[in-house]
Amino acid sequence: MHLILFIVFAGFCLAGAINLLLQTHPINSALSLVVVMCSLAVLYLLLGAEFLAAAQIIVYAGAIMVLFTFVVMLLNAGREERTLGSRAGKVIGFPAVVVILGLIATVILKAQNLGSASLSDPITSTEELSRVLFHELLLPFEVTSVLILVAILGAVALARAGDGERRVSK
């Protein structure tokens, strides 16, 4: 049963990620990202990480995606203009993708004991996880939130400055 659920939700995750890249409207892309985040939460549940699954839903699928959607709507982004891409990107990009996929396949095929995973330590409790997160990793946690805030403020400032209208005071 776990294998079937894994395959179904991994498929949802991949389909949402591909749909995210193919969408031309930013709101549809944001909704595809919500599908990816919710599918990842189910995968975390299958691994036995209930706290991580709940945090994935609450923080990422809830708060961050609402924030992204708010910024996209604030910027009033319409449809993207599609181009055919650059010739250099195609000439360099396709062989690079083939080489990277070949390297990944080689590493996976050469790996020893790939399918033998075991739990050596008991699963940590939420109390231990929160102690590590809010004591030892507090600075990176706060720096990340400040970076997200600065990125949103920068996007709003660029949207206001680049609306194409210059105000001239007389």
State pTM to two decimals. 0.56
Question: CA 91, CA 103: separation in Å to the nearest integer?
Answer: 19
What is the reported pLDDT for 40? 92
Share of the chain above pLDDT 70, in %: 81
**pLDDT tens for each residue of 32-50:** 888 999 999 999 988 888 8
Quick one: average pLDDT of 91-95?
Answer: 84
Residue 129 has pLDDT above 80, yes or no: no
Residue 17 has pLDDT above 70, yes or no: yes
Within its chain, how far is the Cα of 103 from the centroid?
A: 24
Ordered by where they begin, the domains of the chain are: 1-79 (1.20.120.1200)
- The mean pLDDT value of the chain amounts to 79
